[in-house]
């Protein structure tokens, strides 16, 4: 049977460095390529956005009528002294303002709702994709970076797909409509005013490309700072035990100051862009005023036409300034979208084979056939497992022992297919686990690790994680079997007591018994115990060990053992060293082998020099 090709995570595209500006054509290709992908999230709400666009266009057209009303006031009402006309024009202006206010509310509400919905959908999609990634991905990626992409980057993208899009439309209507009106009104003045546009566009492109590069650096640095904070907060007990609070504060301050420096560069660029464009725009207004005044004196323009032309010039200058701001926001959104889509484009290494069947209820037979494994570095010294052959019958208890780094945890991580062997095959009840649905396999495997991972809900929530639809009676039964019911009953709110982040409000033994109750509720056919009692005190270890014995009953169990006293009754003991199986057998057999690794380990732990104890 052929081995399916594993898809590798996609890296940066060759020849396109992330931190350098790219040629304009390439930039616009990237910009609209990313923007098209973002619009996929907009598509379900296109009717709402179309309504917002119609309202926005009407609001813009109402704004374009304002200078015409002012011209009527100047030329008809003021020059002729017609109070009735002045009143009518003023009422028309008030009506325009009311109309614009109504349109503005409708547009802002619709766009705001759609924007928040799109952000929620994008976050959900990104998070769902993260859940498909294998352990190898999370081992190579900092948690703070992932949280930054879920939070800051997605928020940065939000404006680019809603507010910016409609603002762009609004200002295009204002710009084009104003140009058409003033061209009809005074074409020579229009030419003078438009002379500044090419200079403004050139400034936008040159400074905007720099803004994009700095924005990407800001997002990357922000992710590093977030990761630093997340590590220190997560490991706060270690920080305090070593009195390293000042060190962590300095480390965070250094990152924040780097972030501040980059942010100031971006602020400086954006602050430069606006005034430069504004200077060009207001210079054109001064020229228009000078030349237009000469036209009024010469009798080619009325005073009202000059005033309305100046108003239109300002209305046209405003979109030019807005375009620079929008361009800058597009650049920031492009940097953020690159990071988000880089994550979405990372293909999970471990995928279900095409047409993979569900694993039926299993008995628990596990077979390793010439299994080798490395973590991506095939150098001889970095190979973790070498030619492992092992056959485990249903219901057997198999203990894995050996020095640190022997490959024990890696071996059991291959059973639920957290990784795929680089060579060889693993069978569960005769099924090659590469060709069955991973979910159906993992649903029948339970794991109790050394460091128990609890979630920040209640005790009941954490136990019910093993079976989401479990009843209170089932939860209590599992807790009793795990020797957890008594201490849970003594908690302030019993099963409804919050355990805190990562279960910090419970002791190590209590957390472990909650984890065992969770595994009991799942009722797996294959059980993996990864040094489940090694970090507990004697009293807690006894309670946990009793619970583990109940959990192991009638299940195929792999026990990674540090304390050899806990595995003397195992059906089979496998001794690993350097990634190889160097010994295997029952306790009595292994402890009696002269010069054997198991015997030496046993001697070190029990400090005896006479004949081995074979009980």
In the predicted model, is pLDDT for residue 585 greater than 80?
A: yes
CATH class held by domain 357-444+527-615: alpha beta
Q: What is the dihedral of CA 388, 389, 395, 399, to 10 degrees?
A: -40
Which residue, among 37, 340, 364, has the nearest Cα to 216 in the 3D structure?
Answer: 340
Do 440 and 359 form a contact (C-beta atoms < 8 A)? Answer: yes
Which residue, among 68, 166, 67, has the nearest Cα to 108 in the 3D structure?
Answer: 166
Residue 89 or 576, more confident: 576
Give pLDDT tens digits for 496-533: 988 887 777 888 788 888 888 888 888 889 988 887 66
Q: What percent of the chain has pLDDT over 90?
A: 10
Q: Which residues, in sequence order, are CB contacts of 454 under 8 Å at separation 6+? A: 462, 499, 502, 503, 506, 511, 514, 515
Chain position carrying tokens 């108003």: 311
Give pLDDT tens digits for 603-614: 887 764 444 444
Model confidence band, residue 14 (pLDDT cutoffs 50, 70, 90): very low
The CA distances from residue 259 to 156, 232, 266, 329, in Å, are 16, 18, 11, 18
Q: Once rounded to an integer, what is the mean pLDDT over residues 439-461?
A: 85
Which residue, among 6, 136, 5, has the nearest Cα to 419 in the 3D structure?
Answer: 136
Domain boundaries, the chain: 24-344, 357-444+527-615, 453-523
Please indicate whether the domains covering 357-444+527-615 and 453-523 agree at the CATH topology level: yes
Q: Which fold has domain 453-523?
A: Rossmann fold (3.40.50)
Give pLDDT tens digits for 389-439: 999 999 999 999 988 888 888 999 999 998 889 899 999 999 999 999 988
CATH superfamily placement of domain 24-344? ABC transporter type 1, transmembrane domain (1.20.1560.10)
Model confidence band, residue 179 (pLDDT cutoffs 50, 70, 90): confident
What average pLDDT does the chain have? 78
DSSP three-state, residue 587: helix
CA 383 – CA 112 distance, rounded (Å): 54
Question: What integer pLDDT is reported at residue 19 of this predicted model?
Answer: 37
């Amino acid at each position: 049977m052929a081995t399916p090709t594993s898809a590798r995570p996609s890296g940066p595209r060759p020849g396109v460095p992330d931190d350098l500006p790219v040629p304009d054509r390439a930039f616009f290709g990237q910009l609209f390529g990313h923007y098209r992908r973002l619009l996929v999230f907009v598509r379900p709400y296109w009717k709402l956005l179309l309504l917002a666009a119609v309202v926005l266009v009407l609001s813009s057209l109402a704004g374009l009528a304002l200078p015409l009303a002012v011209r009527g006031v100047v030329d008809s009402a003021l020059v002729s002294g017609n109070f009735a006309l002045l009143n009518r024009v003023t009422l028309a202006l008030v009506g325009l303002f009311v109309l614009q206010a109504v349109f503005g509310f409708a547009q802002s509400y619709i766009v705001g709702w759609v924007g928040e919905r799109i952000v929620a959908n994008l976050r959900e999609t990104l998070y769902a994709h993260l859940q498909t990634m294998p352990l190898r991905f999370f081992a190579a990626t900092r948690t703070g970076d992932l949280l930054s992409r879920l939070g800051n980057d997605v928020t940065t993208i939000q404006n680019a797909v809603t507010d910016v899009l409609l603002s762009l439309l609004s200002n295009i209507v204002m710009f084009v409509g104003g140009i058409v009106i003033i061209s009809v009104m005074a074409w020579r003045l229009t030419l003078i005013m438009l002379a500044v546009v090419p200079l403004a566009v050139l400034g936008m492109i040159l400074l905007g490309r720099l803004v994009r590069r700095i924005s990407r650096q800001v997002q990357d640095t922000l992710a590093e700072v977030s990761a630093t904070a997340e590590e220190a907060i997560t490991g706060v007990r270690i920080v305090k035990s070593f009195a390293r609070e000042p060190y962590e504060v300095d480390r965070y301050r250094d990152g924040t100051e780097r972030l501040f420096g980059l942010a100031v560069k971006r602020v400086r660029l954006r602050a430069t862009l606006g005034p430069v464009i504004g200077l060009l725009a207001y210079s054109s207004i001064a020229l228009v005023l000078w030349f237009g005044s000469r036209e009024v004196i010469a009798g080619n323009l009325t005073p009202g036409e000059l005033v309305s032309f100046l108003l239109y010039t300002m209305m046209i200058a405003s979109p030019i300034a807005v375009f620079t701001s929008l361009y800058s926001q597009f650049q920031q959104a492009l940097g953020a979208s690159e990071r988000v889509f880089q994550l979405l484009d990372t293909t999970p290494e471990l995928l279900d084979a095409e047409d993979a069947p569900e694993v039926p209820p299993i008995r628990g037979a596990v077979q390793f056939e010439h299994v080798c494994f490395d973590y991506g570095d095939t150098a001889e010294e970095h190979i973790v497992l070498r030619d492992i052959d092992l056959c485990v019958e249903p219901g057997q208890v198999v203990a894995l022992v050996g020095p640190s780094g022997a490959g024990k945890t890696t071996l059991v991580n291959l059973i639920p297919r957290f990784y795929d062997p680089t060579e060889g095959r693993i069978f569960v009840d005769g099924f090659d686990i590469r060709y069955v649905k991973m979910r159906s396999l993992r649903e029948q495997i339970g794991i109790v690790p050394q460091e128990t991972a609890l979630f920040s809900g209640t005790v009941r929530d954490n136990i019910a994680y093993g079976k989401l639809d479990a009843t209170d009676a089932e939860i209590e039964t599992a807790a009793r079997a795990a020797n957890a019911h008594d201490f849970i009953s003594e908690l302030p709110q019993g099963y409804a007591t919050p355990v805190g982040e990562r279960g910090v409000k419970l002791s190590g033994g209590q957390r472990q018994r909650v984890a065992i109750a969770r595994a009991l509720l799942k009722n797996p056919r294959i059980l993996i115990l990864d040094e489940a009692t090694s970090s507990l005190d004697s009293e807690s270890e006894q309670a946990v060990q009793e619970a583990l014995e109940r959990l192991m009953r009638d299940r195929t169990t792999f026990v990674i053992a540090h304390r050899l006293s806990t595995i003397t009754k195992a059906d089979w003991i496998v001794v690993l060293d350097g990634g190889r199986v160097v010994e295997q057998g029952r306790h009595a057999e292994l402890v009696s082998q002269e010069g054997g690794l198991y015997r030496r380990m046993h001697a070190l732990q029990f400090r005896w020099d006479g004949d081995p104890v074979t009980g």
